[in-house]
Structure formats: structure tokens, C-alpha cells
Amino acid sequence: MNEQDAKQKYGAYFITAEELAARLDGKQAMPDELRTDAHLICNTPAAIDFNSPGAQGFGVKRAGLSVPGSIMLLVSPGCCGRNTAALSGSGHYGERFAYLVLDETDIVTGSHLQKIPEAVRAFVASRAERPSVVMICLTCADALLGTDMERVCRKAEAAVGLPVRPCYMYALTRESQHPPMQAVRETIYGLLQPRRKDPRQANLLGFFTPVAADSELFSLLERAGIRKVAELARCQTYGDFEALAAANFNLVLADEAMSAALALEKRIGIPAIRLRRLYATDKIANQYRALAHILGLGAEAIAMENERERAEQATADFCAQYGKKAVIAIGSRLNANPFELALALVRRGLAVR
């Protein structure tokens, strides 16, 4: 059956690998139906343009290593661990990984679970400096086996005398109510232990890279009497990380960190305040006024007219330069709230596809 016959019979686009190779060998363009930049292929959160939680960027593996001094044992079949090599190029992540590769017998019987504590002990012993934490990264193989990883980690912890925590790289749960990037934040912040609170410290929770140093958020918090604004990405040592537990409150900047923040509120008494990701300046101003009210400040103490004026001017300059010719696409990889961003751009008269 050829491409045209398949279209007529199934009512959907279809092309064989042989037909696609012939097109490309003949210098024909990639069919529009296969181009993700030409149209929406599949309207689901992950879509066909699917990226495993551990494949690139701050996936589960890189996120687990955001704790200073941590190392990670990746327990997986070889096929699931291969993309970890891509992390070795920056941040010396490759030096902080070890592998326990599962064979077919392990996957069928779960026999690898007996090997994990010894593998952790050998990994820790191989390090020139004693690590702060050992993260054990699991794949869908253990999700399907129903592994009790908390129990395995307790055994490994007893073997090495260090915190050992699970990181679940379960792509199967990406669209569930407890996706991998939410779970890994809970694991990370679950390491914090109660300590005396500093009324002039606040934490920013949500991201694995630091908030821009020139963000108006810092001057806003300074006006609120906050002298130390801490965040995971700025922690240089494990001591810096432990000091996050002294915060008077957490500002939650990303939805995926909300469950971790609520757990901290319940476990060590750090209240959580949520800030939504907004892009329209009027909405941002309203949210800051609400924050001022929560912090018990008067409106004049948190007025940010100069900052808003600069934002308005930057927006006007962008629209003047691109507004008449640019057609904007908001992609699935964008580090943003796509609906709020689209709304803000449309309200400015820009064309958003």
C-alpha cells in the first residue's frame, strides 16, 4: 500500500520507511506531516515529541545531582542508561555517576535488588572525597517489578553510613498525578532537617538554575525585610544546602515544587507561598500586591512602579520591532507557562500560532 492509498483508507497520514528514504535520497523535503514545527502532531502533554525524564536538561538524573557533593548510582538495563553519557560534558556530572547494569535475569527475578547495597558501598569507597548523599536512580524496569526502593535504600544507608535516597526515572508516570520531576524535588528537599528559623531568610523553590540576579523579586523581598534569599542552585556546599531549612518561608515558583514545599511545611514548619508564572505586567503587579498583603506589608512598601515601567518599555520595544511581521510559536520545550505567555503576547497584538 502506498502513501496515497493509506491516506484514503485510514484517513490519516502514513508513509513507510522505504518511501521516506526514497524521498530524502531524491532531495525532496521532509513531508510536512512529519515536521513538528509545521503543525501539532499529537495533542497530549508529552506528545509524540517525547523526551524521557532523564534524557536531557534537568531531567531526574541531573536534578538528583543538584545537591552539592551527591553521587548517583543508576540501576537500569543498558538501553535506559545510555543517554547518561550526554551529561558528562558539563558540570562534571559524568564523574558522579556509576552504573549497576541489569541483565535479563535481574529484570525477570529482581535479583539485582540484593546487589544494590554492595554496589553503593563500592561506589562510595571509590570516591576520593566522601560524598554527602547517594542517589539511586531507578527506571521503568523497577516500576513494573513493583520494587520497594525505600527499603533497599535503608539497607544501603546502613552499609555506608550516608543518606541514600531513590530517584524514580519512571517515564510511565510522566502524565500521572505524581510525575518524575515532582517526585525528585520531594526527594531532594526531603533531606532537609529541622533547625532554628531565621526570620530574615526566604527560599526560592522550583528551579534547578538560579533566578536571574537582576530579577525584581530580590529587591521586592529586600523591602519586605528579607536579608537572605536562598535557593538550591546557589548552594556551593552541603552545608549551604542544609541551611535552606532555616528559612522563614518558601516562595514556590514552579508548580512541580509545590508538593515538596507542602511536605516541608508539614515536616519542618516552613510555610509555603505560591507565586504563579505570569507575563502580563498588570497580573504581575496584582500578584506582588497579594504577596505584600501575605507578608503584612503596606502597598507603599512594595511599590514597584519603576520596575513595571521598564518592563512595559521592553515589551513596547519588542512589539515595535517584531509586531508586524513575526508569527510566534510557543514550543513544548519552553521553560514557561505556555497559556499565560500566549495570553500576554496576544493582548499585545502579536500573532501567536
- 155-185 pLDDT tens trace: 999 999 999 999 988 777 766 777 888 999 9
Q: Which residue reads 507557562 in cell numbers? A: 337
- Which among 280, 219, 272, 276 is positioned nearest to 249, based on CA atoms? 272
CATH of the domain spanning 201-275: 3.40.50.1980
Cite the DSSP H helix spans in 127-257: 140-145, 149-160, 180-189, 216-223, 238-242
pLDDT band at residue 81, thresholds of 50, 70 and 90? low
Displacement of CA 163 from its chain's centroid (Å) = 22
C-alpha to C-alpha distances, 200 to 118, 225, 230, 344, nearest whole angstrom: 44, 6, 11, 34
Percent of the chain at pLDDT > 90 equals: 41
pLDDT band at residue 322, thresholds of 50, 70 and 90? confident
- What tens digit of pLDDT does each residue of 16-30 get? 888 888 888 777 888
- What tens digit of pLDDT does each residue of 264-276 get? 999 999 999 999 9
What predicted TM-score, i.e. pTM, was given to this entire model?
0.78
Displacement of CA 323 from its chain's centroid (Å) = 32
Domain positions in the chain are: 3-34, 60-189, 201-275, 305-352
213-222, 237-246, 302-311: least confident range: 302-311
Pairwise CA distance, residues 69 & 102, whole Å: 26
H or E, element range at 230: strand 228-231
Asked if the domains 60-189 and 201-275 are classified in one and the same CATH topology, the answer is yes
Query: Which grid cell is 175?
Result: 502524565
Pairwise CA distance, residues 178 & 125, whole Å: 34
**The predicted structure's pLDDT at residue 108:** 83
Mean predicted confidence (pLDDT) in 236-246: 97
Contact 230, 201 (CB under 8 A): yes
272: which DSSP letter? E
pLDDT band at residue 136, thresholds of 50, 70 and 90? very high
Mean predicted confidence (pLDDT) in 89-97: 70
Mean predicted confidence (pLDDT) in 205-220: 89
Pairwise CA distance, residues 205 & 220, whole Å: 16
Contact 202, 251 (CB under 8 A): yes
**The predicted structure's pLDDT at residue 330:** 84
Question: What CATH architecture does domain 60-189 belong to?
Answer: 3-Layer(aba) Sandwich (3.40)
- What tens digit of pLDDT does each residue of 29-66 get? 888 888 766 665 554 444 444 444 444 456 788 888 99
Pairwise CA distance, residues 347 & 319, whole Å: 11
Helix (H, G, I), strand (E, B) or coil at 88: helix
Cite the DSSP H helix spans in the chain: 3-10, 17-25, 60-64, 78-81, 104-109, 116-125, 140-145, 149-160, 180-189, 216-223, 238-242, 258-268, 281-294, 305-322, 338-347
Q: Which residue reads 513538528 in cell numbers? A: 36
**The predicted structure's pLDDT at residue 57:** 57
Pairwise CA distance, residues 230 & 250, whole Å: 9
46: which DSSP letter? S
